[in-house]
Structure 1
Amino acid sequence: MMIIYRNKIITQSSFFRAVIVPAFLSILLGNVAIAQDRTVPGELSSPYPTVTNLAVEWLINGDDNLNGVVQVKYRSKGSAAWKEAMPLRRIPAGYNNTALKHPTKVAGYNGFGWKNKHSGSIFDLQPGTAYEIKLSLKDPDGGKAEKTIQARTRPIPVYSKNARIIDIAPGVYDTLYTESGTEKRPVVYRCSKGEAVFRFIEARERKWVFLEQLTVKNPAAKGTGIRLTGAENCVVQYCTIRATYGIIAYYPGAINCYISDNTVSADFEWSNEAMGAQGKNIGEGIQLTGSGNVICYNRVAGYRDCISFMEDWEVLSQVCNDIYNNDVEGGLDDGIEADFAFSNCRIMRNRLTNCYVGVSSQPGLGGPTYIVRNVMYNVVHSAFKLKRESRGDVVLHNTVIKSGAGLAGNDTMDHAYFRNNLAFGGPNGGINWGGYGAGQPFAANIISPGKHSSFDYDAVGVYNTPYMALIGDRPFSEVEKNGIERLDFKLTFPGIEFPYPPVPLRKPPVLKVAEGARSEDAGILIPNINDQFSGKAPDCGAYEAGQPVPHYGPRIKN
């Protein structure tokens, strides 16, 4: 039988091959594509518990249209009542091509790639406590699961009378070479009376070592204070360190270390010439790679980067690292550099003053990377440096006051989530601060946010410049349907000086907003983040009305 098809005479068999078979395959493949929108749940884990936070990683297949949701509830084991936490973040599989090639495969990851999953954290838990976590996965395209897992936070590290305590006499020493202990019998190096001063402390590849109330002075050009490279379950607390590289843990990094209540500082010049990646600056305050590390309640000042993760080929799996309640000043490039965070790294309740960049995520590797309730005053270039195709940054309840762009993010990013932030921008003087500048004098200027990013319930304004606010190439009000804009700086922060020009150094003010300010009751409820709000709704910014300001920096040792 002959058939006329597209003005040509062909046989029946040719018509079947040319038309019928492709049509059937198209239908079949179309069904496969639809099936890929259905979620197929996979392995569930809670990696690297820290002292106050727990992570959940739920691998999946499918859900190509990214509309699956995992609701989270939790309770301490044995309690009757469940509490609600933030839903897990939907993390589609990906790979960052801007990174330098890693010499080895990172465990659980393909180089700088990440798997298809839901992932997230539960915050501000009790140390050393067992929790039950109930997860409910629902996908409108198909796929439903209920699971409960158990996880335990780590206790705050303390040593008992069983510890091997080496009480060092006051004096000046060269190098302290430490020895490993065990969980039941850690080794403690301390100076309980007077001051023991060392040039360098070596804790490389050590386990279960406490360094307490010691002083390190090593201001040489490449001078290192304390080395934790390869360390596990080590503690550095109540130490004073003056070194070009304060506390470092290079590749292969540190695991489950606890760095708290230290003063880490170097001399620095706060000038335009010293700012930025190409500026006249040097050194790292606390810098590490690895997972499960806690950096809290430290005072860090005067470094190129004050607190930082490693980058590019120096990175080991950077998962579940916590940076909170630190007092950071004089970060001449970055105050906190959370670059190459894989998942569930948490930067919370830090105070950053006189820094070129507030928090850097350049890039985030899928995420979530949480940036929550940080206070930034006189940050110059950018409050949030989300660059190199950063993915998965969750930016909540931060307060920013700076020259140039207030609520700002550099390009390119995607899967970012901004809620309840409070930001003011202002004049930049037309000066190219630190080689990159302070950004446009806008209330908001999010550059290249990516189609999967979400912005709402933020509050923004400008000081002494015409009002302008953009997210991508769209007006702020068009993107943020519930955002608050055109805030008046003097009515919001009466008595606070706007930090222009950025030089000279400025003292950190208490950035609590005035009673009745428009940013009050303007936020949205985020479970496990702002449940304790007062008034009609949570306030925008780092501080809630009626609640005390957090403690930043070292606490007094009991």
Structure 2
Amino acid sequence: MLKRPPAPSVTATPNRTSGVCRAYGLPGGPSTRASRVLLFLALTVPALAENASRPLQLTEELPTLKCLGVRWLIAGDANRNARVEVAYRKVAEAQWRKALDLFRVDPQGMRSAVRPPSGHFLFAGSVFGLDEDTDYEVRLSLKDPDGGDTEKVVKMRTWAEPKLPLHSLAIQVTPDGLAAALAKARPGDVLHLAKGVYKGTFRPPSGEPGKPVCLVGEDGAVLDGDGKANCISAPGSHDIILENLAFRNATWALNFNASARITVRRCLITDCEYGFVATGNAPAIERILIADCTMKGPSTWPRTKGIENARGIQIAGQGNVVCYNRISGYADAIDTFSSYPCSAIDFYGNEISECTDDGIEMDYSEHNTRCFENRLTNCFQGISIQPIHGGPVYVFRNAMLNLGLETFKMHNAPSGGLFFHNTSVKAGIPLVLWTGQPVTNCVYRNNLFIGTAANYAYETTAPMRDCDFDFDGFGGDWKSFLKWNSARYATVEEARDKCPVYKHAVRVDTATLFASGLKPPTDEKAQLPPTANDLRLKEGSAAIDVGAPLPNINDGFAGKAPDLGAYELGAPLPHYGPRPIPR
């Protein structure tokens, strides 16, 4: 079994010509020759440039249930050798835990409206795996050899999942009385919808913080849009909970554009082209939770109509969570959207299948959006970042089976994507990126890309700028290993020796890789059941103990080093899709 210990952590100046990103001090990095180039560039910075760092505004992102995020504006650091180390702990604990360093955002990757002025840099990053409704301290340590070292400790509290209000007025509603009941509802009221069909388009009134207006259905309570645009049309609303309701027969099931503090939980959506939408006037969009729902769209697998319009969820804003849903039969299951801001949004625990475009889109994300622990089966493309505006956008521990083309769609000049511990299994080329537009400031670590027969294990036609790809595993029957910035590398060994990336790439045997015995599909048109998507590793495979350590991402790995892919050897499958109802 191949075992390669991780290289030491390094930090250096970005080297655009080599294609190596130094936004993080992660294991791996440029060759000795590239490091000499970096040193030369650092020594030739004009004398008048300000190399010392001056910390400026620190911004706390809106917390989510499991994650916290920050952004820190820094002046100076012209030679780009500063870094911001991160540690965190619960307020009641003594021991600090290390997290990933803050990510240096490429200013040119940001939208011009929010780009820092010349001579300033933005650092941003997240802490993951937290308990909800809990106080934490996050310690940020700015370190610059040229001066300006600063430490800040910020206290932040994770979000609590919204609950039905206690001691509320319970209002019993039948199908012929919903419109009248909504007209009379006040903040804190809970409307209990009896079994039956409620036809038409309805607008719940807004509640107040801590006093939402709630619509809770008995089993069999169905809101039927009667073929109109919406079942629920409530743009500009706030403080509403929808629970245990079915929606059908409309273009949009739920329209909550420009809305805040909306919870949709344990609902069923069928026969609608769009499931849930909250875009437009994104500064108003925050604290939206979509959890434990089932959405069945109109699209079928395999795709026969090209790119369709149908979308399960479209959302922008900040502080939003989409988790533990079962979504199938759309062009895209879950999308971020081009309304701004688009930050601090989490997608996790979702079971996704039969998507004729992208399983998940993180498109138009700005900072601290996170896509993790989702399972995708039968999707034309996996996860999209076309584009993202600076990042970091985190994509980690996602399992993808039977993709039609690109595992990660990185078109339209994205900047700031971080891809850790993902597993993709598909027919054909294991990893491909076909676009002529540049990809900037992106990082890959500890991923597994599995395919069948192809010209390359990984072919990218994009100009790769300031990108740092390493410690990934590849499986399949390819003719050449890698095409990177127009250069070709015939074997893994040649790439390790000569390429500016993939110094620790690994080749794995697809026949003995997975404990389930799964082999790559030979025809993506086959519709595989999501239960076939079990990509846990088999003991003894070459993907074990060859990854790079990533604090707060793969803490507590079992062997000498982390394993590649979505699952550490011996770990149970995460829960995907709606969770059991608590009893």
User: How far has the Cα of 1:150 moved from its partner?
Assistant: 1.1
Residue 334 (structure 1) shift: 1.0
List aligned pairs for 1:149-298, cutoff 5 A.
149-162=154-167, 163-173=188-198, 174-199=200-225, 200-218=231-249, 223-242=251-270, 243-253=272-282, 254-271=285-302, 273-274=304-305, 279=306, 281-298=308-325
Distance of 1:201 and 1:301 partners within structure 2: 21
> Structure 1 residue 469 and structure 2 residue 482: aligned?
yes
Structure 2: distance between partners of 1:64 and 1:466: 43
Aligned pair partner of 1:424 in 450, 463, 469: 450
Is contact 1:426–1:442 with CA below 8 Å preserved after alignment? no
Deviation at 1:95, TM superposition (A): 4.7
Q: CA deviation at 1:381?
A: 1.5
1:177 maps to a residue whose letter is: R
* Shift, 1:364, TM fit: 1.1
The 1:115–1:265 alpha-carbon spacing in structure 2 relative to 1, beyond 3 Å, is: farther
- Local SS of the residue matching 1:140: coil
Q: Structure 1 114/282 Cα, relative in aligned 2: closer, same or farther at 3 Å?
A: farther
Q: How does 1:2-151 map to 2 (within 5 A)?
A: 30-33=46-49, 35=50, 37-95=51-109, 109=114, 116-151=121-156
- 2:184 corresponds to: none
Query: What is the CA deviation profile of residues 158-210 of structure 1, one whole-angstrom value per residue up to 9, with x for unaligned ones?
Result: 12314421001111112232111112221110113433333201232221110
Alpha-carbon separation, structure 2, partners of 1:471 and 1:456: 13
Tell me the CA shift for residue 115 of structure 1. Answer: 7.0
Shift of 1:456: 1.3
Cα distance, 1:336–1:115 mapped onto 2, change above 3 Å: farther
Match in the other structure for 1:8: none
- 332-341 vs 132-141, greater mean Cα deviation: 132-141
Q: Aligned partners of 1:136, 1:272: CA distance in 2, in Å?
A: 49
Q: 2:241 is aligned with what amino acid?
A: F
SS in 1 for 2:264: strand
Deviations 1:346-398 (A, max 9, x none): 00011111111111001110000000000111111201111211101000000
Unmatched runs of 5 consecutive residues or more in structure 2? 1-43, 168-187, 226-230, 490-494
> In the TM superposition, what is the alpha-carbon distance from 1:55 to its structure 2 partner?
0.3
Per the alignment, residue 389 of structure 1 pairs with 413
Bigger Cα displacement from structure 2, 124-133 vs 500-509? 500-509
Residue 340 of structure 1: aligned partner:
364
Which stretch of structure 1 is more off in the superposition, 227-236 or 156-165?
Answer: 156-165
CA-based RMSD of the aligned residues comes to: 2.3
Distance 1:426 1:469, change over 3 A: farther
Structural mapping, 1:330-479, within 5 Å: 330-411=354-435, 412-427=438-453, 441-448=455-462, 450-462=464-476, 464-466=477-479, 468-472=481-485, 473-475=487-489, 476-477=495-496, 478-479=499-500
- 2:176 equivalent in structure 1: none
* Structure 2 CA distance for partners of 1:518 and 1:29, relative to 1, 3 Å: closer
Taking the aligned partners of 1:70 and 1:182, their CA distance within structure 2 comes to 39
- In terms of Rg, which structure is larger? 1
Structure 1 residue 468: Cα displacement: 2.3
Q: CA deviation at 1:215?
A: 0.5
Q: Answer yes or no: is the 8 Å Cα contact 2:510–2:519 preserved in 1.
A: no
Letter in 1 for 2:513: T
Q: Which residue of 1 aligns with 2:31?
A: none
Q: Work out which structure has the larger RCO, using CA pairs closer than 8 Å and 6 or more positions apart in sequence.
A: 2
Q: What TM-score do the two structures reach when normalised by structure 1?
A: 0.84
CA distance in 2, matches of 1:360, 1:66: 29
Gap runs ≥5 in structure 1: 1-27, 428-439
Query: Does the Cα contact within 8 Å between 2:356 and 2:380 map onto a contact in 1?
Result: yes
Equivalent residue of 1:32, what SS?
Answer: coil
Distance apart, 1:450 and its partner CA: 2.8
